[in-house]
Chains A and B, each alone.
Chain A
Amino acid sequence: MSNLVLIIGFLLILGSFANALTFDIAGSYKNLLSASRTLQDEAYNLDLNRLRLQVKSTFSENFSSEIQYDIEAYLGSLLKTNTFTIFKNYRPPTKFDLTSTLLDSENLYVRQKLYRFYFTCALPLGDLKIGRQKIPWGVGRVWNATDPFNPIDFVNLEREERVGVDGISLDIPLSALAGLNLVYVEGKSNQSMGGRLRTNIEGTDYSVMGAKLGSDYLLGFDFAGQVRGAGIRGEFAYTRAQAEADYSRLVLSYDYTFPNSLYFLTEFYYNGQHHGFLGLTYDISSLLKGGTYFIYNMDDGSNFVNPFLDYSLTENSSCITGAYLLNGKAGSEFGAFSNTYYVQVRWFF
Chain B
Amino acid sequence: MYRFTAGALLICLASIFCSSSLRAELSAKEIIKKSDDLIRGTSNRGSLEMTITNPYYQRTLKMKVWNKGRKKTFIRITSPAKEAGTGTLKIGNEMWNYLPSIEKVIKVPPSMMMVAWMGSDFTNDDIVRESSIVEDYNHRIVAEEKIDNYAAYKIEALPKPNAPVVWGKRFYWARKGDAVPLREEFYDEKGKLVKVMDYKEIKFMGGRVIPTFMTMRTIGKENSKTSLKIIESQYDIPIADGIFSLRNLQTVK
A interface, CB within 8 angstroms of B? 26, 28, 56, 58, 64, 120, 126-127, 134, 136, 139, 160, 162, 171, 173, 175-177, 179, 198, 200, 203, 205, 224-226, 229-231, 233, 255-259, 261, 283, 285-287, 312, 314-318, 348-349
- Chain A residues positioned under 8 Å from B111 (CB to CB): 229-231, 255-258
* Residue contact A315 to B247, C-beta cutoff 8 Å: no
* Residue contact A231 to B81, C-beta cutoff 8 Å: no
- Minimum CB distance partner of A200 in chain B: B94
B interface, CB within 8 angstroms of A? 52, 54, 56-57, 59-60, 80-82, 84, 91-94, 101-112, 114-116, 119, 224, 241-242, 244-247, 250-253
Given the known A-B contacts A261-B116, A348-B82, A349-B81, are A287 and B56 also in contact in the complex, defined by CB atoms under 8 Å? yes
23 contacts between A and B (CB under 8 A): A56-B253, A127-B247, A127-B251, A134-B103, A136-B104, A136-B105, A139-B107, A175-B245, A176-B241, A179-B247, A198-B246, A203-B94, A230-B111, A261-B115, A283-B116, A285-B56, A286-B52, A286-B54, A315-B80, A315-B82, A316-B81, A318-B82, A348-B80
Chain A to chain B: the 7 pairs with minimum beta-carbon distance, closest first: A231-B109, A348-B81, A229-B111, A176-B245, A348-B82, A224-B107, A315-B59
Additional A-B contact list (11), CB under 8 Å, known A176-B246, A233-B107, A286-B224: A127-B251, A136-B104, A160-B102, A176-B241, A176-B242, A176-B245, A179-B246, A203-B93, A229-B109, A257-B112, A315-B60
- Chain B residues positioned under 8 Å from A286 (CB to CB): 52, 54, 56-57, 119, 224
* Residue contact A171 to B102, C-beta cutoff 8 Å: no
- Chain A residues positioned under 8 Å from B250 (CB to CB): 136
* Residue contact B109 to A230, C-beta cutoff 8 Å: yes
CA distance A295 to B8 in the complex (A): 63
Given the known A-B contacts A229-B111, A286-B119, are A26 and B84 also in contact in the complex, defined by CB atoms under 8 Å? yes
- Chain B residues positioned under 8 Å from A179 (CB to CB): 246-247
Q: Give, as a whole number of angstroms, the nearest-CB distance from A124 to chain B.
A: 12
CA distance A179 to B246 in the complex (A): 9
* Residue contact B60 to A255, C-beta cutoff 8 Å: no
Q: Give, as a whole number of angstroms, the nearest-CB distance from A315 to chain B.
A: 4
Q: Give, as a whole number of angstroms, the nearest-CB distance from B116 to chain A.
A: 7
* Residue contact B57 to A287, C-beta cutoff 8 Å: yes
* Residue contact B82 to A317, C-beta cutoff 8 Å: yes
Given the known A-B contacts A203-B94, A231-B109, A261-B116, are A160 and B101 also in contact in the complex, defined by CB atoms under 8 Å? yes
CA distance A284 to B114 in the complex (A): 17
Q: Give, as a whole number of angstroms, the nearest-CB distance from B190 to chain A.
A: 14
CA distance A198 to B96 in the complex (A): 14
- Chain B residues positioned under 8 Å from A26 (CB to CB): 81, 84
* Residue contact A173 to B59, C-beta cutoff 8 Å: no
Q: Give, as a whole number of angstroms, the nearest-CB distance from B45 to chain A.
A: 17
CA distance A177 to B94 in the complex (A): 11
- Chain A residues positioned under 8 Å from B247 (CB to CB): 126-127, 171, 173, 179
- Chain A residues positioned under 8 Å from B244 (CB to CB): 176
CA distance A160 to B100 in the complex (A): 10
